[in-house]
Amino acid sequence: MKEQARPAGAGQPATPALEEAAFLDMWRTADLLSAGPARAIKAEHLSLTQYNVLRILRGAPEGLVCGEIAKRMITRDPDITRLLDRLEKRGLIARRREPADHRRVVTRITSAGLRLLARLDRPVREAHQRQLGHLGPGRLRKLAQLLRLARARLS
């Protein structure tokens, strides 16, 4: 039986539906979890979004076009071109027009970008371990599975 929200009355707030309560719990948790790795990432003068782009490009050594990077982003950025401009200005990525199709611009991570990510790998991994390690492997696998199921209907 589906749990329904109870209407607010006489100064009492409505009880959220189970789906809303779960959503709010995930939102609060995501906000708290992002704070751990964010400290290490910000120490390197990167935003979480810029870090995400660098990680995406590290996993695609052949490079990606702007639209493909945007599709793989964790959080949507309406101005991916400006984001790439900032990373290119720092020498962390390089963009090149394809000779066969000049409309196609491929973005690749540079050796400087790879070195920066290598410096961040350990502190980010340690932050994740501090935050979630207490759950243990079985619970972490189950949590990841449930989150993938939740996202599957939204994609």
- What pLDDT band is residue 98 in, cutting at 50, 70 and 90? confident
Does residue 51 form part of some domain? yes
Render pLDDT for 27-40 as a digit per residue (tens, 0 to 9).
Answer: 999 999 988 899 99
Q: Quick one: which H or E segment has residue 105?
A: strand 105-109
Report the predicted TM-score, pTM, of the whole model to 2 decimal places. Answer: 0.81
CATH number, domain with residue 119? 1.10.10.10
Does residue 119 form part of some domain? yes
Does residue 66 form part of some domain? yes
SS (H, E, C) 6-55: ECCECCECCECCHHHHHHHHHHHHHHHHHHHHHHHHHHCCCCHHHHHHHH
Domain that holds residue 122: 39-127
Render pLDDT for 118-148 as a digit per residue (tens, 0 to 9).
Answer: 999 999 999 999 999 999 999 999 999 999 9
Between 10-19, 45-54, 70-79, the lowest mean confidence (pLDDT) is in 10-19
Does residue 71 form part of some domain? yes
Sign of the alpha-carbon torsion through 136, 145, 128, 60 = positive
Number of structural domains the chain divides into: 1
Q: Give the CB-side neighbour count of residue 53, counting CA atoms within 13 A.
A: 30
Rounded CA separation 43/40 (Å): 5
Does residue 58 form part of some domain? yes
> What was the pLDDT predicted at 4?
55
